[in-house]
Amino acid sequence: MARGDELLSLTEISRLAGVSRQTAQRWHKAPPQHAKNKKPVLASALQKVAADLEIEVPEAHEDRPRYPRRVVEAYLKAVGYMNPDGSLVEEIKEKGGGRWLPVRPTIDPTGTSRKPKHRYYVPHAAKELGYATTESFEQMRSKGVIPEPDGHDELFRPFWYSETLEEQKKKRGQRRKAEPEEKPDGFDDEGRPYKLLQSPEPS
Question: pLDDT tens digits, residue range 152-172?
Answer: 999 999 999 999 999 999 887
35 occurs within a structural domain = yes
Is the same domain home to 95 and 122? no
102 burial class (0-12, 13-18, 19+ CB within 10 angstroms)? buried
pTM higher than 0.75, yes or no? yes
pLDDT at 118 over 80: yes
Is the same domain home to 23 and 71? yes
Q: How much of the chain, in percent, has pLDDT values that exceed 70?
A: 78
105 occurs within a structural domain = no
Do residues 81 and 89 lie in contact, with contact meaning Cβ atoms separated by under 8 Å? yes
Do residues 70 and 57 lie in contact, with contact meaning Cβ atoms separated by under 8 Å? no
122 lies in which domain range? Answer: 117-180
pLDDT of residue 174: 60
Question: pLDDT tens digits, residue range 70-81?
Answer: 999 999 999 999
